């Protein structure tokens, strides 16, 4: 694939369309019992979102010469887990948000109990796909590796742990080291897993190249969250599709609040350069990942 800027947006659209169809096929129909739960799952997953994590996995797969069909189920698992985290994060017990992806949050469109169950069921479905999706072309050893990578990324030493630190820290001023640690767990862990699950689908991958991918994924994960903090300050609710300025209102410690906007933008730039340098051993083969990095850093929502 050419990563020329003028063709890449079209590739992103193709990947998003592919994911929309792949996710729709893998979720129970809204006619199937319990209909309300299945309708709420489909409402939460389909028809919105940038699909960043699946796209990172698909771009990694392309870099490694793997077919998209081979890894599509793993890409779906990442998005299902991500949507679970959004649905739970929006609940009144957590961030208490009314708007997500430009629409009422799951608990507003349905109810809180249903939103809890949607998150639970999406997480289960994600692991079910890794265990037995008929299109996942992976050996049992690779499947176990994928399950382990995803489980570690979203548990108490990953996303859920980062969320716990975030909630505990509301109203407190964290230093930058602590904020980076929280971001690295809350958001970074799943972004890293998106790349490393792609790598795991290529079991013959040279250890040096696997380390290069890890060296790309970690700074991209952190840059993505700092960018999110910046968008919360600089963006508007209509463009973001979620409530702007919400970090400040909740008394959250964020990069821009501690370092200011210009220094935060510089940090994003430096992290991005660091990520791109890590891809050097791949030569032009890694152009899909370079293009995804550029897209993520230029995003407006
Ligand atoms: C509830 C266990 C649990 C964890 C929640 C990830 C998370 C932890 C909460 C989501 C809320 C949030 C703002 C997290 C920061 C990560 C982030 C930038 C999420 C939004 O991801 P995008 O921009 O969203 O990829 P779309 O809608 O495009 O998929």
- Cβ–ligand 1 distance for 242 under 6 Å, the answer no
For a substitution probing ligand 1, which of 84, 95, 164, 186 has the most ligand atoms within 8 Å of its CB? 186
Relative to the CA of 190, which ligand 1 atom is closest?
6
- Which pLDDT score, from 0 to 100, does residue 253 have? 80
139 Cα: distance to centroid of ligand 1 (angstroms): 31
pLDDT at 156: 98
pLDDT of residue 63: 97
Question: Which residues of the chain, if any, have pLDDT below 70?
Answer: 1-7, 240, 244, 247, 249
Alpha carbon of 219 to ligand 1 centroid (Å):
17
pLDDT of residue 162: 96
Ligand 1 centroid to Cα of residue 216, in Å, is 20
Collapsing DSSP states into helix, strand and coil, what is residue 113? helix
Find the 194 Cα to ligand 1 centroid distance in Å.
14
Place of tokens 């949507």: 83
What's the 230 CA to ligand 1 centre distance in angstroms? 14
Q: Is the beta carbon of 184 within 6 A of some atom in ligand 1? A: no
Cβ of 240 closer than 6 Å to ligand 1, yes or no, is no
Stated pTM of the model: 0.94
Q: Whose CA is nearest to atom 26 of ligand 1?
A: 49
Euclidean distance between CA atoms 209 and 39, whole angstroms: 42
Among the atoms of ligand 1, which is closest to the Cα of residue 241? Answer: 27
Tokens linked to 268 = 């994003």
**Residue 235: CA count within 13 A, CB half-sphere:** 20
Look at residue 242 in the predicted model and tell me its pLDDT: 72
Looking at ligand 1, which residue's alpha carbon is closest to its atom 25?
52
Question: Residue 160: in which H helix or E strand, if any?
Answer: helix 159-168
Residue 49 Cβ inside 6 Å of ligand 1? The answer reads yes
Ligand 1 atom nearest the C-alpha of 301 is: 23
Ligand 1 pocket, 133 CB below 6 A? no
- Domains of the chain as residue ranges with CATH: 8-298 (1.10.600.10)
pLDDT in the model for residue 240: 66
pLDDT by residue (tens digit) across 137-163?
Answer: 889 999 999 999 999 999 999 999 999
> Does 163 contact ligand 1 (Cβ within 6 A)?
yes
Query: Hey, CA dihedral for 258, 191, 14, 58, is it positive or negative?
Result: positive
Residue 160 near ligand 1, beta carbon < 6 Å: yes
Do 255 and 176 contact (CB within 8 A), yes or no?
yes
Mutation choice for ligand 1 from 228, 246, 296, CB with most ligand atoms inside 8 A = 228
On the CB side of 52, how many CA atoms lie within 13 Å of its CA?
22
- 137 CB within 6 A, ligand 1: no
Query: In the prediction, which pLDDT does 144 show?
Result: 97
From the alpha carbon of 48, which atom of ligand 1 is closest? 27
Half-sphere exposure of 199 (CA within 13 A, CB side): 23
């Amino acid at each position: 694939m050419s990563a020329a800027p003028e063709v890449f947006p079209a590739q992103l659209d193709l990947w998003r369309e592919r994911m929309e169809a792949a996710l729709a096929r893998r979720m129970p129909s809204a006619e199937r019992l319990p209909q309300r739960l299945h309708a709420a799952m489909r409402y939460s997953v389909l028809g919105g979102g940038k699909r960043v994590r699946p796209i990172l996995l698909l771009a990694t797969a392309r870099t490694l010469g793997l077919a998209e069909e081979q890894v599509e189920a793993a890409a779906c698992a990442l998005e299902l887990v991500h949507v679970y985290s959004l649905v739970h994060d929006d609940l009144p017990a957590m961030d208490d948000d009314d708007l997500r992806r430009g629409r009422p949050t799951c608990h507003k469109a349905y109810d809180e109990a249903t939103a809890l169950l949607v998150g639970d069921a999406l997480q289960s479905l994600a692991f079910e796909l890794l265990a037995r999706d008929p299109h996942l072309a992976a050996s049992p050893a690779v499947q176990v590796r994928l399950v382990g990578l995803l489980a570690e990324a979203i548990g108490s030493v990953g996303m859920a742990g980062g969320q716990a630190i975030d909630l505990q820290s509301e109203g407190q001023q964290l230093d930058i080291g602590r904020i980076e640690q929280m971001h690295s767990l809350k958001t970074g862990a799943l972004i890293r897993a998106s790349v490393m699950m792609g790598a795991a689908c290529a079991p013959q991958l040279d250890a040096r190249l696997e380390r290069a991918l890890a060296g790309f994924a970690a700074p991209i994960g952190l840059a993505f969250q700092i960018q999110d903090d910046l968008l919360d300050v600089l963006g508007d609710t209509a463009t973001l599709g979620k409530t702007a300025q919400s970090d400040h209102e909740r008394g959250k410690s964020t990069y821009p609040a501690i370092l200011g906007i210009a220094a935060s933008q510089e940090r994003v730039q430096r992290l991005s350069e660091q990520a791109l340098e890590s891809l050097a051993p791949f030569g032009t083969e890694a152009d899909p990942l370079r293009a995804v990095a550029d897209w993520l850093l230029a995003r407006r929502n």
